Amino acid sequence: MSQFVKAVLFDLDGTLIDTAADFVRIIRNMSDENGWQAPPEADIRAQVSAGASAMVQLMLRHNEQATFSEAELLEFRQQFLDDYEAEICVDSCVFFALEEVLKTLEAKRVPWGIVTNKPRYLAEQLLSKMELEERCAALVCPDDVARSKPDPEPMYMALEKLGIPRGAAGSVLYVGDHIRDIQAGNAAGMPTILAAYGYIPPEYQKSFKKWGANYIVETPEQLNTLLLSSGKFDYL
């Protein structure tokens, strides 16, 4: 028997939108400016979901001869954020096969939204550049809540924005690529889908199947099939 779904929520970076190329470019530029060798692209991608500080620390650790104070770390982090804001959507794109998912949900009048740990000022600019801001029915960022994922508070706020009571959380799917995504969705009572094609850090590569997701997809195409073609879900 298929499950009835009222809405679908996505994490942003590494789940709905492939933003890694822009982060790789910025880290490479910062490394060049300082005469350093940039970390491998795969290593940068694996740290995207961990945020700006993690990517900057990766860059600094890769330069094994240097030591840095906390103030210098913060300065590099701010430069990273400033550079990203200035060129926030050069190479980013919706993951292949997920644009079809969004269009199909919209055609069925099923709202979709985003619950992310990306700061609102960056998330809004990214969605605007990609012409997704009007299509996204709910955007919840760390700025909006007292406790970010893995706490369920952002998930509850998304339900409120969608006009769906907490008691109906089981009819809202949440898709994410990080353990905190699965923890937050599960805590809110939402069926969860792990996007294993996303930015999963190396330390989690052998354990992500134990995170407790209801479903695991290895590619965006598999997510497309699960949401649209498998017969597991019925929509409004």
Residues identified as active-site: 11, 13
Locate 59 and state its tokens.
Answer: 């860059």
Class of residue 33 by CB neighbours under 10 A (exposed 0-12, middle 13-18, buried 19+): exposed
24 and 44 in contact (C-beta within 8 Å)?
yes
- Cβ contacts of 213 within 8 Å, gap of 6 or more: 182, 192, 193, 194
Rounded Cα distance between 137 and 134, Å, is: 7
Nearest to 235 by CA among 101, 137, 136, 134: 101
Rounded Cα distance between 171 and 8, Å, is: 9
154 and 144 in contact (C-beta within 8 Å)?
yes
Class of residue 173 by CB neighbours under 10 A (exposed 0-12, middle 13-18, buried 19+): buried
